[in-house]
Chains A and B, each alone.
Chain A
């Protein structure tokens, strides 16, 4: 059955050329386009960052999908264990002192997406999700190399620790308290990733670590 597109135009908030003229569209665009945006407007609920990396997309994907490379390019994930049968690895997030961080990696080679499903303190509910995607720069910038996209969404647990009883004794910090620094922290880590990938690629080094160091 052919979809009734005119019904879509009745939906509140939907703007299409059929129900919103070009002039009105430009008007909306003007209203929405500011010279500056407050940090919270841009990074309040989502933290999306990106970087160009002078390294082929396939190699960047290979590196990212090896969970143990997080020891290299993240600021504070260290002391990884070997993976359990269901693919879970446990590490220490030194930002939280002795805090354990549980990670399961979901990688899709065809889409070149690498999603890290994580949580502090427990591994039953992995709610801290790091969504990453590698795009060949040839496609988007007409040049060699790749672009790495990275998004986090502000899960409500960032604002409220759901399992306070599982925290190490005496820990005062909660991962979500740092949300206002997520842009900065993640950008620094993405820069780490960029420089490490470029170094490994330029020097012909392997793209995986393959286990705890």
Chain B
């Protein structure tokens, strides 16, 4: 595999900040541990597209790295939770708006909350077998404003958790901040345990006025939590092992941000202090796939991510059908 570096990240958050009073249960502390701990989150506006969110985050990235977007994006990848259009991804529209001429465009619809790591792995594979030298990876979470703000859905406790945002990362075939290891684990046996449904039973493409929500059942919760407790630390430990990095040498850990108990457990499992684990959950809610690049951008901006330290990314997707982790030796020039 060609040596590939993760050199920077940038983010965009929608202007609209929604506090807990927006939700029906705001007057009482939500009883369920699954739905506690978010104080505010951002919601996309109705006319705000995934494409426009990526464009705004990428412009920040381009300014930071002094990129010529016309020439400096060989691979363009996107993952969007609530796509702008059902038939197509927004990669080409992003390229159009940014003036990119990528050799490869991939609009991914898997990898969920750790699709950022899946995109890194795919970009590295593509770079190793083609002439591509640069990759722009874009994660958009826009389901909070698009689905969880719907009139009926926002009455559900689950609606408190998602928050919208966009994170983009930039890869270069170089030795600057090399990706030392990537671990991906597909657990296909757990596929299908998370679904978006409607009260009236209609499918998403069928005409209906019913609102959409996540088919969350208590019965599945114990199973999902058991999986998350197991597969995320396992993937992170394996990535660290492959990178010859003792887990107590993890400088900064960035995981997806599903809820505070999962964050607590992963940290405990790796025996890391909270100061080394980036958490935006309280301020931004569950950012789904955008959490990784967005937390990375925040850790860079805040100085939490120190030069010449090891950055570890990890997490799981959906109800546990995929887990991934990566180790990056962070030494920005």
Residue A31 lies at the interface, judged by CB distance under 8 Å to chain B: yes
A22 to B34, CA, bound (A): 13
Partner of B32, one of A23, A33, A34, A36: A23
Q: Does A159 contact B (CB under 8 A)?
A: no
A36 touches B261 (CB 8 A): no
Within 8 A of B (CB), among A30-55: 30-31, 33-36
With contacts defined as CB atoms under 8 Å apart, how many contacts are there between chain A and chain B in the complex?
Answer: 47
Closest to A38 in B: B268
Stretch at the interface among B221-229, B274-282, B306-314: B221-229
CB distance from A33 to the nearest CB of B (A): 6
A23 and B268 contacting across the interface, CB-CB below 8 Å: no
Residue of B218, B225, B233, B266 touching A33 (CB-CB under 8 A): B225
Kindly state the interface size class of chain A when it binds its partner: 10 to 19
The residues of A that contact B268 with a CB separation of less than 8 Å are 34-36
A27 contacts B by Cβ under 8 Å:
yes
CA gap between A28 and B261 in the complex, in Å:
11
With known contacts A31-B33, A31-B261, A34-B268, A26–B218 Cβ distance under 8 A: yes
User: A31-B33, A33-B229, A35-B229 are contacts. A26–B221 as well, Cβ < 8 Å?
Assistant: yes
CB contacts under 8 Å to A, within B259-302, are 261, 264-266, 268-269
**Residues of the B chain whose Cβ atoms lie less than 8 Å from the Cβ of A26:** 32-34, 218, 221-222
Of A22, A29, A31, A35, which contacts B230 at CB under 8 A?
A35
Is A177 positioned at the interface, with any CB of B under 8 Å from its CB? no
| Contacting pair B33 A30 (CB below 8 A) | yes
Q: How large is the interface on B (under 10, 10 to 19, 20 to 34, 35 or more residues)?
A: 10 to 19
Contact of B266 among A21, A30, A35 (CB under 8 A): A35
Interface string of B204-244 (1 = CB under 8 A from A): 00000000000000100110011001100100000000000
* Shortest CB distance A27–B (Å): 4
Query: CA of A36 to CA of B269 in the docked complex: distance in angstroms?
Result: 5
| A1-41 near B? 1/0 per residue, CB < 8 Å | 00000000000000000000111101111110111100000
How far is B226's CA from A91's CA once the two chains are assembled, in angstroms? Answer: 46
Task: Kindly list chain A residues whose C-beta atoms are within 8 Å of the C-beta of B1.
Answer: none
A29-B34 in contact (CB<8A): no
Chain A residues near B225 (CB-CB < 8 A): 30, 33
B88 at the interface (CB under 8 A from A): no
| Contact indicator B34/A35 (Cβ below 8 Å) | no
A34–B225 CA distance with the chains assembled, in angstroms: 9
- Give the residue among B31, B222, B229, B265 with the most A Cβ atoms within 10 A: B31
Please indicate the chain B residues that have their CB under 8 angstroms from the CB of A21 in the complex: 31
Nearest residue in A to B265 (C-beta to C-beta)?
Answer: A35
Residue of A nearest to B266 (CB): A35
Q: Which residues of B contact A33 (CB under 8 A)?
A: 222, 225-226, 229, 261, 265
Nearest chain A CB to B158 CB, angstrom units = 12
Q: Which B residues are CB-close (under 8 A) to A22?
A: 218
For B229, the closest partner residue in chain A by CB is A35
Knowing A33-B225, A35-B230, A35-B233, the reply to whether A27 touches B34 (Cβ < 8 A) is yes
Question: CB distance B221 to A30 under 8 Å?
Answer: yes
Q: Are A24 and B31 closer than 8 Å at their CB atoms?
A: yes
In the complex, which residues of chain A have a beta carbon less than 8 angstroms from the beta carbon of B269?
35-36
A35 / chain B contacts, CB cutoff of 8 Å: 229-230, 233, 265-266, 268-269
Chain A residues within an 8 Å CB radius of B32: 23-24, 26-27
Whether B218 pairs with A23 at a CB distance below 8 angstroms is yes
* Alpha-carbon gap, A35 to B266, bound state (A): 7
* B237 CB, min distance to chain A CBs, angstroms: 12
A34 touches B265 (CB 8 A): yes
Closest CB in chain B relative to A178 CB, distance in Å: 25
> How near does chain B come to A38, taking the closest CB pair, in angstroms?
9
Q: Report Cα–Cα, A33/B233, bound state, in Å.
A: 15
Q: Mark B28-63, 1 if CB is under 8 A from A, else 0.
A: 000111100000000000000000000000000000
Q: How far is the CB of B214 from chain A (nearest CB, A)?
A: 16
Contacts of B230 in A (CB 8 A): 35
A27 vs B218: C-alpha distance when bound (angstroms): 10
B6-43 contacts to A (CB < 8 Å): 31-34
Q: How far is the CB of A19 from chain B (nearest CB, A)?
A: 13
In the bound assembly, the distance between CA atoms of A59 and B230 in angstroms comes to 38
Which residues of chain B have C-beta atoms less than 8 A from A24's C-beta?
31-32
Could you jot down 18 A-B contacts, CB within 8 Å?
Answer: A22-B218, A23-B32, A23-B218, A24-B32, A26-B34, A27-B32, A28-B33, A29-B222, A30-B34, A30-B261, A31-B261, A33-B222, A33-B226, A33-B261, A35-B230, A35-B265, A36-B233, A36-B269
Binding site for B on A (CB under 8 A): 21-24, 26-31, 33-36
Closest 5 CB pairs of A and B: A35-B229, A35-B265, A30-B33, A35-B269, A27-B33
Known contacts A26-B221, A29-B222; 5 further A-B pairs (Cβ under 8 A): A23-B218, A27-B33, A33-B265, A35-B265, A36-B233
